[in-house]
């Protein structure tokens, strides 16, 4: 009896498990060399010839255009890590692949997949306990936030600028949106602009949009500005149906033109009478109206998108209006300053201060598109981890120290677990060692020797990580060197990697339609 169509392909049992595990391991291995402060970059070229150079795990996996369904689960791990805490994507991906490799060894020893899954979940619970024990009893102040942000950016492309300088900008941005209600991460934006070195990166108290004034004679700077937002076309009205008008004399043509001119002047006068200083419209503004507004010193930006209009409204407190007569002072927003600046062929509008001060923008500069894009990714991750650390108030040692502590704690707890599940718990502990081993390998050290030394230092001192300054590698307390990570990054990596690995291990039948 044939149940499946002739075009379907089915893989069962060990073959299905082996195929899925192999795919997951391959994806994990692809990003492994990017981990840590001495990690390498990947160059990704798509079918159109577009190039991305990065060592950000989530970006690499997204750009790889992975089709294998099991491998796609590892991509989802990275995406989940990125969405939840903003960093640790490579750690989560590498850990997922190593858990799969350990599971494969257990399957070959005839340990049932269900036993492995149960053991992994038990080990994950123990690992989370170990992370809780590693949380530092310190106040998350600006100095510590700088360390968190700097640890996140170390090893990523920062255009030659030291991570410490950028970290200070990141912390300033995060503190700006911190309140009793929490950290409003959505109020921090990152805007990149090519054309200067990364040292020109700055924090703008307000928002930046890619727009140019509607007329060349408009002012480029307006101080203490009242902001209006219109969803109205400031031009000659046209009918929705095709129509023809018959003009029999020059007087009729003149009258028509005069009426048109009067209509446009009335639009301009209505805007002028409203008292607005800066006008944003989602529709077009006739050149003659723009010229009249320019003569009155009203800075106008037309044809802006709905997204940009919402952005201006949220930043300034202005309310969008759908009729010109509704453009009144009660609907205005406010900013300390609005300015328009040219950067090469691009023009940007800066809306700063006042009501706009609730939003901040990290204005990222870079000499090339690749530098600016990678710097944007690095700063974005740093903003996320600094926000996470400030929200939770919990940080743990970095540089592989927390992973060594997790592995030690899980390995010790495994001795008290009965049955074959103990093998899976021990395998989980061995998998955790992949992070310090990879860090050691990426810094040019022997992974095995470094792991042995790390374990010995952890037993003796209680905290040990791999510290590198770019030339030498030291095994020491990472906290003394300011290498710390948010605890939530470690928790999310353990949980998401465990979920992905156990889901893949449980699959013993793959049915694919050709």
Nearest one of 176, 82, 133, 12 to 510, comparing CA atoms: 12
CB 467 within 8 A of CB 450: no
Whether 56 is a known active-site residue: answer: yes
Tabulate helix, strand, coil % of the chain (nearest 5).
55, 20, 30
What token pair was written down for 318? 């202005």
Which neighbouring-strand residues pair with 334? 226
Whether 453 is a known active-site residue: answer: no
Which neighbouring-strand residues pair with 8? 513
What token pair was written down for 510? 């793959």
Nearest one of 47, 52, 18, 16 to 377, comparing CA atoms: 52
Stated length of the chain: 514
Residue 503 buriedness (CB in 10 A; 0-12 / 13-18 / 19+): middle
Taking the mean position of all CA atoms in its chain, how far away is CA 200? 21
Report the alpha-carbon distance of residue 354 to residue 205 in Å, rounded: 9
Nearest one of 440, 328, 406, 421 to 120, comparing CA atoms: 421
Three-state secondary structure call for residue 290: helix
Report the alpha-carbon distance of residue 25 to residue 146 in Å, rounded: 34
Catalytic member of 90, 158, 192, 468: 90
What would you report as the CA-atom Rg of the chain, rounded to the nearest whole angstrom?
A: 29
Catalytic member of 33, 34, 54, 56: 56
Torsion of CA 188, 193, 196, 202, to 10 degrees: -10
Report the alpha-carbon distance of residue 493 to residue 127 in Å, rounded: 11
CB count within 10 Å of CB 322 equals: 9
Torsion sign, CA atoms 18, 22, 28, 32: positive
Catalytic member of 381, 408, 485, 488: 381
Taking the mean position of all CA atoms in its chain, how far away is CA 38? 21
Which neighbouring-strand residues pair with 427? none
Question: b/e for 371-409, b at 16 or more Cβ within 10 A?
Answer: bbbbbbbbbbbbbbbbbbbbbeebbbbbbbbbbbbbbbb
Whether 373 is a known active-site residue: answer: no
Whether 508 is a known active-site residue: answer: no
Which residues touch 300 (CB under 8 Å, ≥6 apart)? 213, 214, 215, 218, 278, 279, 280, 281, 285, 290, 293, 294
* Catalytic center residues: 56, 89-90, 381
């Amino acid at each position: 009896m044939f149940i499946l169509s002739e075009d379907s392909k089915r893989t069962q049992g060990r073959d299905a498990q082996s195929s899925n595990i192999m795919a997951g391991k391959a994806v994990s291995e692809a990003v492994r060399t990017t981990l840590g402060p001495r990690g390498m970059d990947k160059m990704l070229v798509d079918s159109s010839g577009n190039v991305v150079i990065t060592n950000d795990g989530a970006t690499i996996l997204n750009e790889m255009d992975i089709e294998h369904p099991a491998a796609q689960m590892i991509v989802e791990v990275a995406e989940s890590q990125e969405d939840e805490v903003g960093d640790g994507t490579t750690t989560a991906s590498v850990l997922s692949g190593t858990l799969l490799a350990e599971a494969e060894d257990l399957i070959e020893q005839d340990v049932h997949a269900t036993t492995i899954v149960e053991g992994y979940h038990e080990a994950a619970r123990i690992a989370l306990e170990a992370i809780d024990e590693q949380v530092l009893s310190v106040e998350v102040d600006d100095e510590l936030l700088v360390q968190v942000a700097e640890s996140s950016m170390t090893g990523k492309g920062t255009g030659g600028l030291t991570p410490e300088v950028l970290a200070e900008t990141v912390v300033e941005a995060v503190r700006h949106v911190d309140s009793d209600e929490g950290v409003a991460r959505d109020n921090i934006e990152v805007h990149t602009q090519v054309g200067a070195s990364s040292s020109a990166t700055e924090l703008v108290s307000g928002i930046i949009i890619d727009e140019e004034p509607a007329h060349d004679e408009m002012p480029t700077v307006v101080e203490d500005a009242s902001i209006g937002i219109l969803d109205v076309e400031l031009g000659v009205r046209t009918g929705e149906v095709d129509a023809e008008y018959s003009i029999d004399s020059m007087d009729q043509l003149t009258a028509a033109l005069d009426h048109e001119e009067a209509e446009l002047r009335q639009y301009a006068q209505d805007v002028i009478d409203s008292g607005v200083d800066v006008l944003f419209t989602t529709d077009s503004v006739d050149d003659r109206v723009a010229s009249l507004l320019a003569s009155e010193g009203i800075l106008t930006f037309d044809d802006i998108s709905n997204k940009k209009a919402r952005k201006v409204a949220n930043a300034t407190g202005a309310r969008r209006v759908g009729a010109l007569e509704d453009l009144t002072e009660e609907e205005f927003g406010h900013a300390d300053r609005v300015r328009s600046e040219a950067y090469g062929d691009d023009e940007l509008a800066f809306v700063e201060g006042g009501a706009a001060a609730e939003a901040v923008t990290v204005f990222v500069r870079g000499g090339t598109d690749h530098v600016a894009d990678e710097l944007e990714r690095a700063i974005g991750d740093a903003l996320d981890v600094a926000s996470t650390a400030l929200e939770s108030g919990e940080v743990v040692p970095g540089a592989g120290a927390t992973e060594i502590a997790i592995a030690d704690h899980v390995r010790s707890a495994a001795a008290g677990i009965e049955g074959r599940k103990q093998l899976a718990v021990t395998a989980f502990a061995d998998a955790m060692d992949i992070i310090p081993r990879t860090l050691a390998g990426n810094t040019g050290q022997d992974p095995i020797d470094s792991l042995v030394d790390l374990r010995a230092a952890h037993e003796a001192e209680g905290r040990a990580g791999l510290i590198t300054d770019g030339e030498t590698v030291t095994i020491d307390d990472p906290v003394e060197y300011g290498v710390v990570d948010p605890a939530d990054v470690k928790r999310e990596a353990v949980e998401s990697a465990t979920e992905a690995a156990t889901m893949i291990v449980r699959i013993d039948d793959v049915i694919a339609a050709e």
